[in-house]
């Protein structure tokens, strides 16, 4: 089981406003990415189930997290079936993210009191996921749906917690557009945790990129509240 309760995960996503995404097959490299993200101030990280034996890397990563970086909320992403969700939950995932919505994954997460963030692209999907216990909804692919989708959806459903994902870039104007439309958080992958920097071992620049992104998010949220 993970270190964090479901309500703690949801609260932290809303508070921080950023869930970085990454995958790497080398455990030691993954640890360094985690360290850079934590030191930058983002206490959340989504490790994706995309590479060979990804679950084995995640197993080592969670053990290291538990002892060395207990303030990191570590989740598993690209989870599309209940068996894989159960595997990662047993390995210590604090939350589960999917590119799509699967009712059986929702049931398993609900049963284990683990936050489930399903990928949704229609109001019907979001409504169904909400009925099955989801608190935050990954709006995917965000690049296609655009901020107008969130703004229009929050008109009749202002209580929804929406997190765009897919094609986002850590640029001030883009972040401000999504936050002003009503997004509670942003889900960013290779545009933020850049593979070229990871390959070069430039974790200091990686850290600075995350710090800058968090700064833009804070500024956008403050501007929206005025």
The stretch 192-206 carries a mean pLDDT of: 98
Q: 110-114, long-range: CB within 8 Å, 24+ apart, which pairs?
A: 112/1, 113/5, 113/6, 114/2, 114/6, 114/89
The stretch 67-72 carries a mean pLDDT of: 96
Quote the CA–CA distance of 188 and 175 in Å, as a whole number.
11
Q: Where are the alpha helices (DSSP H) in the chain?
A: 6-16, 27-40, 54-68, 82-90, 103-111, 123-131, 142-154, 172-181, 195-200, 203-225
What is the average pLDDT value for the chain, to the nearest integer?
Answer: 97
**pLDDT at residue 187, as a whole number:** 98
**pLDDT at residue 27, as a whole number:** 97
pLDDT in tens, 96-130: 999 999 999 999 999 999 999 999 999 999 999 99
Q: Which domains does the chain have, with CATH numbers?
A: 6-220 (3.20.20.70)
**pLDDT at residue 193, as a whole number:** 98
What's this model's pTM, rounded to 2 decimal places? 0.96
**pLDDT at residue 225, as a whole number:** 86
pLDDT in tens, 27-61: 999 999 999 999 999 999 999 999 889 999 999 99
Return the H-helix or E-strand segment holding 166.
none
Dig out the tokens for 160 from the structure. 């929804």
């Amino acid at each position: 089981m993970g270190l964090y309760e479901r309500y703690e995960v949801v609260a932290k996503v809303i508070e921080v406003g950023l869930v970085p995404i990454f995958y790497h097959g080398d455990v030691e490299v993954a640890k360094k990415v985690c360290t850079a993200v934590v030191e930058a101030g983002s206490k959340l990280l989504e490790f994706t189930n995309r590479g060979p034996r990804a679950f084995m890397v995640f197993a080592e990563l969670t053990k290291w997290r538990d002892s060395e970086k207990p303030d990191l909320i570590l989740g598993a992403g690209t989870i599309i079936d209940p068996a894989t969700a159960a595997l990662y939950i047993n390995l210590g995932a604090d939350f589960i993210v999917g590119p799509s919505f699967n009712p059986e994954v929702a049931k398993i997460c609900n049963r284990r009191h683990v936050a489930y963030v399903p990928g949704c692209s229609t109001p019907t999907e979001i409504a169904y996921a909400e009925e099955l216990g989801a608190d935050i909804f990954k709006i995917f692919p965000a690049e296609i749906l655009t901020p107008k989708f969130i703004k229009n959806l929050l008109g009749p459903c202002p209580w929804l917690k929406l997190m765009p994902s897919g094609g986002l870039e850590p640029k001030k104007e883009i972040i401000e557009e999504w936050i002003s439309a009503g997004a509670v958080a942003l889900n960013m992958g290779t545009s933020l945790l850049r593979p070229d920097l990871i390959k070069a071992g430039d974790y200091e620049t990686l850290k600075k990129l995350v710090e800058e992104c968090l700064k833009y998010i804070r500024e956008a949220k403050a501007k929206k509240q005025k």
